[in-house]
Amino acid sequence: MYPHSHGGREFRYQAVLPRIAEHVDIHVYTMRWWSGPKVYTENGVTFHAICPLVPMYRKDGRRSIIQGIVFALFSLRLLTCSFDVLDVDQIPYFHVFPLRLIATIRRKPLVATWHEVWGPEAWRAYLKWLGWLGWFVEITSIRMPDHIISASAQTTERLHQFLGEEASITTIPNGIDIAAIAEVPASPHKVDIVTVGRLIEHKRVHVLLEVISSLHARGIYATARIIGDGPDREALQKQAKALGIDSAVEFLCDIAEQKELYSLIKASRIFVSLSTREGFGIAVLEAITCGVPVLTTTAPDNLAQYLVTQYSLGSVCGTQTTEIVDATAEILSRADAGHSPTADSWIEEYGWETLVQRIVNIYRPGLIEPVATAISKEEFV
3-state per-residue secondary structure call for 39-104: EEEECCEEEEEEECCCCCECCCCCECHHHHHHHHHHHHHHHHCCCCCEEEECCCCCCHHHHHHHHH
For residues 307 and 315, what is the distance between their CA atoms, to the nearest angstrom? 10
Superfamily of domain 8-175+353-380 in the CATH hierarchy: Glycogen Phosphorylase B; (3.40.50.2000)
pLDDT of residue 183: 92
* pLDDT tens, residue by residue, 46-103: 999 999 998 887 777 777 889 999 999 999 999 999 999 999 999 889 999 999 999 9
The mean pLDDT value of the chain amounts to 88
Task: Output the pLDDT for position 343.
Answer: 57
Residues of the chain with pLDDT under 50: 337-338, 341, 372-381
Closest CA to 211 of 127, 328, 319: 328
Q: Assess whether the previous peptide bond of 18 is cis (omega < 30° from 0).
A: no
The identity of residue 321, as a single letter, is T
- Is 178-345 assigned to CATH 3.60.15.10? no
Residue (of 136, 117, 116, 135) closest to 126 by Cα position? 135
- Before 231, cis peptide (omega within 30)? no
Alpha-carbon gap, residue 229 to 198, rounded angstroms: 5
What is the DSSP pairing of strand 26-31 with strand 45-51? parallel
pTM: 0.70
pLDDT digits (tens, 9 = 90+) for 226-248: 999 988 999 999 999 999 999 99
Residues 350 and 175 sit within 8 Å (Cβ to Cβ): yes
Closest CA to 319 of 341, 336, 295, 343: 295
| Residue 324, CA distances (Å) to 270, 297, 333, 355 in order | 13, 8, 14, 34
**Domain regions of the chain by residue span:** 8-175+353-380, 178-345
Same fold, 8-175+353-380 and 178-345: yes
Give the pLDDT confidence score for residue 366 in this predicted structure. Answer: 67
